[in-house]
Amino acid sequence: MPTAIDPKVPSFVPVPAASHFPLYNLPYGIFSPAPTASLRAGVRIGDHVLDLSVIEDCGLLAAAGLPPGTFDQPWLNRFMELPAEQRRLVRLLIHGLLREDEPTLRDDATLRARSLLPASSVTMHMPVMIRDYTDFYSSREHATNVGIMFRGKENALMPNWLHLPVGYHGRASSVVVSGTDIVRPCGQTIAPDAATPSFGPSRLLDIELEMGFLVAGSNELGTPVSVDEAWDRIFGMVVVNDWSARDIQKWEYQPLGPFNAKNFATSISPWIVTIDALMPFACEAPAQDPEPLPYLREQDRRTFDITLSIDLQAEDDEPLTICRSNFKHLYWTMAQQLAHHTCTGCNLGTGDLLASGTISGPDKGSYGSLLEITWRGTEPVTLPGGGIRKFLADGDRVTMSGVCEKDGLHLGFGEVTGRILPAHKDLQ
Ligand code: CA
């Protein structure tokens, strides 16, 4: 049994050249093969989904010693809480099963028909039961841009920003899977020249290009996770669109931070790409000055080179790419976020989602929110069909994606997409 996966090994399942899902990727998700069928776990390969509940049921993952029915579940949590070594073994077994030179599944037409389904024929669901959601603010470029807009160039970064990964506790119940429509939120806002606030649909509805990671395993309440232990607690990553109502945020955020502006929807891509699959794309995170306090100092200051993009598409129009950014720009790493989150003894558990915060790059084309792209509405975007956008209009669709490429190896996250529906009539 090999202990490492060779990225160059092909599969007997055809994989289109530009596919995000070569045999090496094997991201996990939850799907239903038909509207009335139960939810179960799968991995994506090319344009197909391998039904892991069938593969497990046939005994083909027996060498991993999984608890019975690990993949016959509506969420991945039961698999995610297994030790990292056991999860790695499962990845090896699945990879071995799909190799071009392995006949077990390749030559069994009945089992193939039961377990290997066209991706276009299945429905994707939330991959994880998200227990808790925390959102960070880890992009120096984003924090600086927002700081300049609201406080001026001299005070762009708050005094704490270079010393700790700033974050807040978000809302898990409204984290939704890609494809879910987003209803424009209503809330309190105040017009620039008004003395009192008014209530109604948000007029400054925005996006936030983020990536999130899913926590594997639990630490006991009162027991911090060190920055160097943190990597074994990270199951994998997804692309995140953290929808935000800027006008609601501006009025409500002092002194406790955002509330209604951020609690109505956060969309995630359906396939979780594991940290193991991302390792060929590891790179060094930006240097930190000043040096952080000892509990945030990493022996291996690792992040990943993931190219990110945002497409904005009005109803009956073509999509326009409005941003190209990269995950590697983030100042604070996932390990630092996890260590900081637990330094008080806060317990993180399997299925917690920790998101990066808006990922903006150094250049104008790399900003991860409309707030920055249109510079607070002063530089609107012109869409292919002639529409003008400062913020999102009803019917607009936003699609975000992430891709890794190195030495001929290419993999991706698929996409996270969502469309804006008009606000509730009763509330207007
Ligand atoms: Ca956010």
pTM score of the predicted model: 0.97
Q: What is the pLDDT of residues 96-153, one digit of tens each?
A: 999 999 999 999 999 999 999 999 999 999 999 999 999 999 999 999 999 999 889 9
Q: What SS3 state is found at 426?
A: helix
| Residues 173 and 263 sit within 8 Å (Cβ to Cβ) | no
11 neighbors 23 (Cβ within 8 angstroms): yes
Q: What is the DSSP string of 159-215?
A: TTTTTS--EEE--STTEEETT--EEPPEEEE--TT-SS-EEEE-SSEE--EEEEEEE
- What per-residue confidence (pLDDT) applies to 426? 75
Q: What is the pLDDT of residues 320-344, one digit of tens each?
A: 999 999 999 999 999 999 999 999 9
Here the tokens at position 232 are 């074994």
Span from the CA of 224 to the centroid of ligand 1 (angstroms): 24
What's the CATH fold of domain 133-427?
A: Fumarylacetoacetate hydrolase; domain 2 (3.90.850)
d(CA 108, CA 130): 37
Residue 1: is its pLDDT beyond 60? no
Q: Ligand 1 centre from 136 Cα, in Å?
A: 7
**In the chain, where are the structural domains located?**
28-125, 133-427
Is residue 424 part of the annotated active site? The answer reads: no
Angstrom CA distances, 129 to 149, 363, 425, stand at 37, 36, 31
Query: Distance from CA of residue 411 to its chain's centroid?
Result: 15
* CATH architecture assigned to 28-125: Roll (2.30)
pLDDT at 3: 59
Å from CA of 359 to ligand 1 middle: 9
Which residues lie closer than 8 Å to 257 by C-beta, 6 or more apart? 168
Cis peptide preceding 255, ω within 30 of 0: yes
Looking at per-residue pLDDT, the higher value among 2 and 188 belongs to 188
363 CA distance to ligand 1 middle (Å): 20
pLDDT at 151: 86
Catalytic: which of 20, 142, 329, 340?
142
Does the pLDDT value for residue 210 go beyond 60?
yes
Flag whether pLDDT at 186 surpasses 90. Answer: yes
- State the distance from the centre of ligand 1 to the C-alpha of 135, rounded, in angstroms: 6
Q: What is the pLDDT of residue 226?
A: 98
